[in-house]
Every structure is written in C-alpha cells, then in structure tokens.
Amino acid sequence: MKHISEINLQRLLDDNLSLVQKLICKHHLAKCADCAAKLEAAKMQRQELLSIAQDLNRLQEAETALSKTSILRK
C-alpha cells in the first residue's frame, strides 16, 4: 500500500489537490490509520505554528523595545 506523501497531506489540508488525487487520498485515509494520524498531526502542527507566530510577534516587539534602551547599546 502506497502511503500519502507529506506534501500531498499538506496539499490536502489546503484543498490543493486535483479531484482525482483528492479521491485517491480520501480512499486511502479511510483505511490507513498511519496516514490519518499523520494528517491529524500536520493539521495540529499548523495550528501550533500559527499560535507560535503570535508569540514571535510579541517577542519581536520586545526586541524592538529593548533595542531602544541602553542595555544593548553599550
């Protein structure tokens, strides 16, 4: 049984597969627990990254504020 590639899992999440590819993937996912788990993990990883992106913005704001102090200028 050929598993779904990482890239196709990502494409599936974005709804960026052709209709035929999508049907093949869905058919495979229905009977392959490994790929179904990978798809779920990829979905969660995306959500985590978006949440981290918000904290990265806060960290960047802190860096900007810090750069205006004498702490890093000396």
Partner 1 sequence: MAFVTDPNLLADIKKGDNAAWNLFAKKYGALIWLRGSDYHLTPDEQEQLTQDVLVSFFKAQDSFVYAPEKGRFRDYLRQIIKNCIFQILRKRQQDNNNEEIQENTAFDENDDEAKRKREDEEWMAHVYSQALAELKRTVKPRKLQSFMMCRLQNKRPEDVAKFQKVSLATVYNDCNEVMEKLMELVKTLKDA
Binding site for partner 1 (CB under 8 A): 6-7, 10-11, 14, 16, 45-46, 49-53, 55-56, 58-60, 62-63, 65-66, 69, 71-72
Residue placing its CB nearer to partner 1 in the complex, 30 or 64? 64
The smaller minimum CB distance to partner 1, of residues 34 and 61, is found at 61
CA distance 22 to 63: 44
CB of 19 to partner 1, least distance (A): 16
Q: What is the rounded distance in angstroms from the CA atom of residue 25 to the CA atom of residue 12?
A: 8
